[in-house]
Amino acid sequence: MLRILLVLLLSILSAGACIWDRDTLKEEAKGRLDTVTATTGRFDRYPARYYEMRLERVTKELEEKPGVLALYDDAGVACSRLGRHDDAIIWMAKKAEALVSMPIEETNEERYRYLSNLGTFLLIRWIVQPEAERSADLTDLQASETFIRQALQLNPDAHFGREKFQYKLIRWLLDAQSPPEYGTINFLYLEQDRMFAPRRNGGEGFTLEEARKGLTGLIQMGAAWESVDTFQTLQLCLHSQGSMSLAHLAYLRGRELYDSGERSFHPVEEVRAEVVPQPSGGFSEIGRVDAYFKKARAAVMQRDAEWIAYQDERYAKRMHPDTHPDFWKDWKEPEPPKFPRASLLQLAERNESLSMVVLIALIVLVSWAVRVLWRKVSAA
């Protein structure tokens, strides 16, 4: 009987090997540490002086080398990061002028970057407007859609697929439909599975894993760290994958933003009112993830304060990472808090295969014990 039990258990485990192992919350994030860092903010966000010094340098370089197209991107991004959105767009106009005299077949990558940056700068300029003005005038948003669409036509897989999710966000913002009668609003139109069954399929033209990577990239590399819309969508994506702990981290960051006064960017008031972060639940150890998030956010704030102080000391000496290769040689990256381990209870909640294994094992063991006991009673 024990041999039969062992064979039965092994057959079930091998059938679900791709979704079950003796996992932990940390292992749930294995290969996805970018999502953990994105939800807790443990990625580099440079201070204003970093961009001011870069802008000063590349402006001078462009006076001498107006044909170096990458410098226009550096200048535009620096202005955007400094909140000088009109200037960022002007730099792209200057790049467009420089591109006119160059062969199209030799400048596809630079034309893509021009379209991508211009579309993004227009989107950010629209986003930073006061809510009433933003909702009343969609001109920049509409222009952003045009340029990002053209950029994707040139390079559909750019930025590891991140840009197509930015485009989906823009299309959703331009969608004037009222909120759905049920479900959670998100710009990928993902449906929340109340049965907590992990799945791989996403929406039209993407998988959930592609969406996870793309949304994480928007947060780390774009301007979505302050976006309630993006974190709500990431939460639904992770929940649909069965990554309940990571989904809860995304919820906690979205809630942090919401409690600080941030709201959805959607121009339709009825939609904005519906975008309120809500926990998706689905696992037993929410309290442990809550504690981890609080500890991780405090560690990030401490790390960022030290990181910026390190930079400020060197900026005062006219040092900059662009021009001084040894700029970071004395920086010691502090160790982040450890992701908590999962209990067997949570593993069972996360994985139907494990629950089935445990149930069948118990049934077989009880049956075997009853049979042995019956034999002893009969023999007596």
**Lowest-confidence pick of 96-110, 174-188, 205-219, 288-302:** 174-188
Question: pLDDT confidence of 340, banded at 50, 70, 90?
Answer: confident
In a 10 Å sphere around its CB, with 0-12 CB exposed, 13-18 middle and 19+ buried, how is residue 3 labelled?
A: exposed
Query: How far is 241 from 197, CA to CA, in rounded Å?
Result: 8
Question: pLDDT confidence of 364, banded at 50, 70, 90?
Answer: low
Q: Is the pLDDT of residue 58 over 70?
A: yes
Q: Do the Cβ atoms of 284 and 249 come closer than 8 Å?
A: no
Give the helix/strand (H/E) hosting 57.
helix 48-64
Q: Is the pLDDT of residue 347 over 90?
A: no
Query: How far is 143 from 174, CA to CA, in rounded Å?
Result: 11
Q: Is the pLDDT of residue 359 over 60?
A: no
Per the confidence metrics, is the pTM higher than 0.85? Answer: no
Quote the pLDDT of residue 8: 36
**Arithmetic mean of pLDDT, 121-148:** 97
Q: Do the Cβ atoms of 140 and 125 come closer than 8 Å?
A: yes
Structure tokens at 248: 């809860």
Pairwise pLDDT comparison (361 vs 95), residue with the higher score: 95
DSSP 221-284: HSSGGG-HHHHHHHHHHHHHHT-HHHHHHHHHHHHHHHHTT-----SSHHHHHH--------SS
Buried b (16+ CB within 10 A) or exposed e, 75-89: bbbbbbbbebbebbb
Q: Is the pLDDT of residue 214 over 50?
A: yes
Pairwise pLDDT comparison (353 vs 8), residue with the higher score: 353
